[in-house]
Amino acid sequence: MGRRLATVLAAPVLAVVTALGTATAAHAAPADKARVLSGWTQTGASSQQSWNAAQADRPAWAAYGFDWSTDHCSSSPDNPFGFPFSASCARHDFGYRNYKAMGIFSAHTSRLDDAFHEDLERVCAGYGGATGTACDSTAWTYYQAVRALG
């Protein structure tokens, strides 16, 4: 009787343990999370374009557990003097929030700030003359602010 009871109880217990193990594995971030994050936070235009595409299709990246939240340009205007800096600020927030969550923020801060500046400069490249100069000056000011204040 004892052996039969143990056999009857073992199957449901094993099923629960297996289900819990599977659920835990399903909620774990993929092993390449750091690589993906790095690819989306580089200074180049292709990195920015990749992040833009991923941000537009966030559900496809749900398994990674990225923090997509943003306050855009914090307490500074998102579109100073009409220059559309909001998306650049959002990518910068993405890098800051996700590297902080991974506990490796300080190793990447300088690159994230440089990528932010490059993103802003790509916005400014669309302007010429005095407007372009004003945009570049505003971009430099935003960059200096994040370098000083984080």
Catalytic positions are 92
Residues 40 and 50: beta-carbon distance below 8 Å: yes
C-alpha to C-alpha distance for 82 and 77, rounded to whole angstroms: 9
Give the residue carrying structure tokens 């690159």: 111
The DSSP output letter for 30 is P
C-alpha to C-alpha distance for 91 and 120, rounded to whole angstroms: 11
